[in-house]
Amino acid sequence: MPDTTSKINFADNDTTFDTNGVQFVINPNDEFGLTRAMWFKEKQGAKVTVINVGGAETEPTLRKALAIGADTAIRVNTVATDGFTVAKQLADVINKGGYDLVIAGRESIDYNGGMVPGMIAGLINANFVNNCISLEIDGNNATAAREIDGGKETVSTILPLVIGGQKGLVEESDLKIPNMRGIMMARKKPLTVIEPIESAAETTSVKFEKPAEKGAVTLVNADNLDELVNLLHNEAKVI
Protein backbone atom coordinates (compact mmCIF):
# COMPACT_ATOMS: atom_id res chain seq x y z
CA MET A 1 0.00 0.00 0.00
CA PRO A 2 1.16 3.62 -0.45
CA ASP A 3 3.09 5.15 2.43
CA THR A 4 0.60 7.17 4.49
CA THR A 5 2.82 10.24 4.09
CA SER A 6 2.58 10.07 0.28
CA LYS A 7 0.82 12.76 -1.68
CA ILE A 8 -2.01 10.99 -3.49
CA ASN A 9 -3.00 11.91 -7.04
CA PHE A 10 -5.09 10.34 -9.78
CA ALA A 11 -4.61 10.11 -13.54
CA ASP A 12 -6.63 9.40 -16.69
CA ASN A 13 -9.44 11.78 -15.76
CA ASP A 14 -9.40 10.56 -12.13
CA THR A 15 -10.05 6.92 -13.09
CA THR A 16 -6.66 5.45 -12.06
CA PHE A 17 -4.32 5.85 -9.12
CA ASP A 18 -1.12 7.71 -10.02
CA THR A 19 1.86 5.77 -8.64
CA ASN A 20 4.49 8.32 -9.70
CA GLY A 21 6.64 9.28 -6.73
CA VAL A 22 4.73 7.02 -4.35
CA GLN A 23 6.64 4.79 -1.94
CA PHE A 24 4.95 1.52 -0.98
CA VAL A 25 5.05 -0.03 2.48
CA ILE A 26 3.63 -3.09 4.26
CA ASN A 27 -0.02 -2.57 5.17
CA PRO A 28 -0.08 -2.08 8.99
CA ASN A 29 -2.68 -4.83 9.53
CA ASP A 30 -0.48 -7.23 7.55
CA GLU A 31 2.54 -6.12 9.58
CA PHE A 32 0.76 -7.07 12.80
CA GLY A 33 0.05 -10.45 11.22
CA LEU A 34 3.65 -10.93 10.09
CA THR A 35 4.89 -10.16 13.59
CA ARG A 36 2.52 -12.76 15.05
CA ALA A 37 3.70 -15.27 12.45
CA MET A 38 7.28 -14.60 13.56
CA TRP A 39 6.22 -15.43 17.13
CA PHE A 40 4.95 -18.82 15.91
CA LYS A 41 8.25 -19.33 14.10
CA GLU A 42 10.34 -18.48 17.15
CA LYS A 43 8.22 -20.35 19.72
CA GLN A 44 6.86 -23.29 17.73
CA GLY A 45 9.17 -23.73 14.76
CA ALA A 46 6.65 -22.61 12.14
CA LYS A 47 7.73 -21.84 8.57
CA VAL A 48 6.63 -18.40 7.39
CA THR A 49 5.86 -17.65 3.74
CA VAL A 50 4.72 -14.19 2.62
CA ILE A 51 2.60 -13.94 -0.52
CA ASN A 52 1.29 -10.98 -2.47
CA VAL A 53 -0.32 -10.16 -5.79
CA GLY A 54 1.37 -7.39 -7.75
CA GLY A 55 4.07 -6.29 -10.15
CA ALA A 56 7.82 -6.16 -9.69
CA GLU A 57 7.48 -2.84 -7.87
CA THR A 58 6.08 -4.72 -4.86
CA GLU A 59 9.18 -6.85 -4.39
CA PRO A 60 10.94 -4.41 -1.98
CA THR A 61 7.98 -4.89 0.36
CA LEU A 62 8.40 -8.67 0.18
CA ARG A 63 12.14 -8.30 0.76
CA LYS A 64 11.39 -6.27 3.90
CA ALA A 65 9.18 -9.10 5.15
CA LEU A 66 12.05 -11.54 4.48
CA ALA A 67 14.43 -9.23 6.34
CA ILE A 68 12.07 -9.22 9.31
CA GLY A 69 12.33 -13.01 9.35
CA ALA A 70 9.95 -14.69 6.89
CA ASP A 71 11.49 -17.77 5.30
CA THR A 72 10.25 -17.49 1.73
CA ALA A 73 8.26 -15.09 -0.44
CA ILE A 74 5.94 -15.57 -3.41
CA ARG A 75 4.76 -12.88 -5.81
CA VAL A 76 1.86 -13.56 -8.14
CA ASN A 77 2.77 -11.57 -11.24
CA THR A 78 -0.40 -9.66 -12.01
CA VAL A 79 -2.01 -6.35 -11.15
CA ALA A 80 -4.15 -6.43 -8.02
CA THR A 81 -7.36 -5.18 -9.60
CA ASP A 82 -10.12 -6.03 -7.14
CA GLY A 83 -10.58 -8.02 -3.93
CA PHE A 84 -12.03 -11.12 -5.53
CA THR A 85 -9.26 -11.37 -8.12
CA VAL A 86 -6.62 -11.06 -5.38
CA ALA A 87 -8.39 -13.66 -3.23
CA LYS A 88 -8.60 -16.14 -6.13
CA GLN A 89 -4.89 -15.78 -6.90
CA LEU A 90 -3.89 -16.17 -3.25
CA ALA A 91 -6.28 -19.10 -2.68
CA ASP A 92 -4.72 -20.98 -5.60
CA VAL A 93 -1.22 -20.55 -4.15
CA ILE A 94 -2.42 -21.53 -0.67
CA ASN A 95 -4.16 -24.67 -1.94
CA LYS A 96 -1.13 -25.78 -3.91
CA GLY A 97 1.21 -25.04 -0.98
CA GLY A 98 -0.86 -26.87 1.62
CA TYR A 99 -0.69 -24.07 4.19
CA ASP A 100 -2.79 -24.66 7.30
CA LEU A 101 -2.74 -21.13 8.76
CA VAL A 102 -3.22 -17.95 6.75
CA ILE A 103 -2.68 -14.68 8.62
CA ALA A 104 -4.00 -11.78 6.59
CA GLY A 105 -4.68 -8.20 7.54
CA ARG A 106 -8.29 -7.33 8.37
CA GLU A 107 -8.25 -4.83 5.52
CA SER A 108 -5.83 -2.73 3.56
CA ILE A 109 -5.75 0.89 4.64
CA ASP A 110 -5.69 2.31 1.12
CA TYR A 111 -8.95 0.98 -0.36
CA ASN A 112 -10.29 -0.44 2.94
CA GLY A 113 -12.08 -3.23 1.11
CA GLY A 114 -11.91 -5.79 3.91
CA MET A 115 -12.92 -8.57 1.49
CA VAL A 116 -9.84 -10.66 0.80
CA PRO A 117 -9.42 -12.76 4.00
CA GLY A 118 -13.04 -13.94 4.08
CA MET A 119 -13.01 -14.73 0.37
CA ILE A 120 -9.81 -16.76 0.75
CA ALA A 121 -11.40 -18.76 3.57
CA GLY A 122 -14.43 -19.50 1.40
CA LEU A 123 -12.34 -20.47 -1.61
CA ILE A 124 -10.08 -22.88 0.32
CA ASN A 125 -12.86 -24.17 2.62
CA ALA A 126 -11.11 -23.03 5.82
CA ASN A 127 -12.44 -21.58 9.07
CA PHE A 128 -12.33 -17.80 9.36
CA VAL A 129 -11.96 -15.32 12.22
CA ASN A 130 -12.08 -11.63 11.32
CA ASN A 131 -11.03 -8.59 13.40
CA CYS A 132 -8.67 -10.96 15.20
CA ILE A 133 -6.84 -9.53 18.22
CA SER A 134 -5.40 -12.72 19.72
CA LEU A 135 -4.35 -16.09 18.32
CA GLU A 136 -2.88 -19.21 19.93
CA ILE A 137 -2.19 -22.50 18.15
CA ASP A 138 -1.90 -25.86 19.91
CA GLY A 139 -1.39 -28.68 17.42
CA ASN A 140 -4.44 -28.62 15.15
CA ASN A 141 -6.47 -26.47 17.54
CA ALA A 142 -6.70 -22.70 17.56
CA THR A 143 -8.02 -20.21 20.11
CA ALA A 144 -8.69 -16.72 18.84
CA ALA A 145 -10.24 -13.53 20.11
CA ARG A 146 -11.93 -11.03 17.86
CA GLU A 147 -13.08 -7.49 18.43
CA ILE A 148 -16.87 -7.04 18.51
CA ASP A 149 -19.05 -4.04 19.20
CA GLY A 150 -18.49 -3.14 22.83
CA GLY A 151 -16.04 -5.90 23.67
CA LYS A 152 -14.36 -9.04 22.43
CA GLU A 153 -15.35 -12.62 21.69
CA THR A 154 -13.10 -15.64 22.23
CA VAL A 155 -13.61 -18.62 19.93
CA SER A 156 -12.05 -22.04 19.49
CA THR A 157 -11.66 -23.71 16.12
CA ILE A 158 -9.40 -26.05 14.17
CA LEU A 159 -6.98 -25.68 11.30
CA PRO A 160 -7.01 -24.90 8.42
CA LEU A 161 -7.75 -21.34 9.49
CA VAL A 162 -7.72 -17.88 7.94
CA ILE A 163 -7.67 -14.83 10.17
CA GLY A 164 -8.09 -11.14 9.42
CA GLY A 165 -5.68 -9.61 11.92
CA GLN A 166 -5.43 -6.11 13.33
CA LYS A 167 -3.75 -4.18 16.13
CA GLY A 168 -4.04 -6.29 19.28
CA LEU A 169 -2.85 -9.41 17.50
CA VAL A 170 0.41 -7.76 18.49
CA GLU A 171 1.01 -4.24 19.71
CA GLU A 172 2.87 -1.53 17.82
CA SER A 173 5.74 -1.87 20.30
CA ASP A 174 6.12 -5.52 19.20
CA LEU A 175 6.66 -4.71 15.51
CA LYS A 176 10.05 -5.76 14.21
CA ILE A 177 12.45 -3.49 12.34
CA PRO A 178 14.85 -5.19 9.91
CA ASN A 179 18.44 -5.11 11.10
CA MET A 180 21.52 -5.27 8.88
CA ARG A 181 21.92 -9.02 9.37
CA GLY A 182 18.29 -9.58 8.40
CA ILE A 183 18.64 -7.38 5.32
CA MET A 184 21.73 -9.29 4.17
CA MET A 185 20.08 -12.67 4.77
CA ALA A 186 16.96 -11.56 2.89
CA ARG A 187 19.01 -11.26 -0.29
CA LYS A 188 19.69 -15.01 -0.17
CA LYS A 189 16.15 -16.11 0.70
CA PRO A 190 13.92 -17.37 -2.13
CA LEU A 191 11.48 -14.94 -3.74
CA THR A 192 9.49 -16.91 -6.28
CA VAL A 193 7.54 -15.19 -9.04
CA ILE A 194 4.62 -17.20 -10.43
CA GLU A 195 2.19 -16.41 -13.20
CA PRO A 196 -1.47 -15.88 -12.31
CA ILE A 197 -4.32 -18.27 -12.92
CA GLU A 198 -7.03 -17.09 -15.29
CA SER A 199 -9.35 -14.70 -13.47
CA ALA A 200 -11.57 -11.83 -14.58
CA ALA A 201 -12.07 -8.76 -12.40
CA GLU A 202 -15.53 -8.59 -10.85
CA THR A 203 -15.42 -4.83 -10.27
CA THR A 204 -13.74 -1.81 -11.85
CA SER A 205 -12.99 1.63 -10.47
CA VAL A 206 -15.15 4.23 -12.21
CA LYS A 207 -13.78 7.40 -10.65
CA PHE A 208 -11.71 8.62 -7.71
CA GLU A 209 -12.41 11.83 -5.86
CA LYS A 210 -10.34 13.48 -3.14
CA PRO A 211 -12.04 14.73 0.03
CA ALA A 212 -12.91 18.41 0.02
CA GLU A 213 -10.10 20.61 1.29
CA LYS A 214 -10.43 21.98 4.79
CA GLY A 215 -11.88 25.47 4.97
CA ALA A 216 -9.98 28.52 6.14
CA VAL A 217 -9.50 28.94 9.87
CA THR A 218 -10.23 32.21 11.70
CA LEU A 219 -8.17 32.81 14.82
CA VAL A 220 -9.69 34.82 17.64
CA ASN A 221 -7.75 36.30 20.54
CA ALA A 222 -8.53 34.47 23.76
CA ASP A 223 -9.44 37.75 25.43
CA ASN A 224 -11.95 38.77 22.75
CA LEU A 225 -14.99 36.63 23.59
CA ASP A 226 -17.39 39.13 22.03
CA GLU A 227 -15.79 38.67 18.62
CA LEU A 228 -15.90 34.88 19.02
CA VAL A 229 -19.61 34.96 19.86
CA ASN A 230 -20.27 37.28 16.92
CA LEU A 231 -18.45 34.96 14.48
CA LEU A 232 -20.21 31.86 15.78
CA HIS A 233 -23.56 33.59 15.54
CA ASN A 234 -23.30 35.53 12.29
CA GLU A 235 -20.75 33.61 10.17
CA ALA A 236 -20.73 30.02 11.36
CA LYS A 237 -24.40 30.29 12.41
CA VAL A 238 -24.01 27.60 15.02
CA ILE A 239 -25.54 29.63 17.85
Q: Please state which of the ranges 21-25, 61-65, 154-158, 201-205 shows the lowest mean pLDDT.
A: 21-25
Q: What percentage of residues in the chain have a pLDDT greater than 90? A: 59
**Residues 136 and 142: beta-carbon distance below 8 Å:** yes
Rounded Cα–Cα distance for residues 181 and 3 (Å):
25
- What 17-24 contacts at long range (C-beta under 8 Å, 24+ apart), as own/partner pairs, is 17/208, 19/57, 24/57, 24/58, 24/60, 24/61
Average pLDDT of the residues in 95-120? 91
Residue 77 predicted with pLDDT over 80: yes
More confident residue, 73 or 210: 73
Q: What is the pLDDT of residues 109-168, one digit of tens each?
A: 777 888 999 999 999 999 999 999 999 999 999 999 999 999 999 999 999 999 999 999
Residue type, 212: A
Residue 177 predicted with pLDDT over 90: no
**Residues 166 and 29: beta-carbon distance below 8 Å:** yes
Residue-level pLDDT at 89: 97
Q: What is the pLDDT of residues 6-47, one digit of tens each?
A: 788 888 888 888 888 777 788 899 999 999 999 999 999 999
Residues 6 or more apart in contact with residue 12 via CB below 8 angstroms: none
- Confidence band (pLDDT; 50, 70, 90) for 235? confident
Rounded Cα–Cα distance for residues 94 and 159 (Å):
13
Residue-level pLDDT at 104: 96
Residue-level pLDDT at 222: 86
| DSSP structure string for 12-30 | TTTTEEE-TTPPB---HHH
Residue-level pLDDT at 22: 77
- Confidence band (pLDDT; 50, 70, 90) for 205? confident
Domain 9-194 belongs to what topology?
Rossmann fold (3.40.50)
- Confidence band (pLDDT; 50, 70, 90) for 218? confident
To the question of pTM greater than 0.75 for the whole model, the response is: yes
Considering the chain, what is the average pLDDT of its residues? Answer: 91
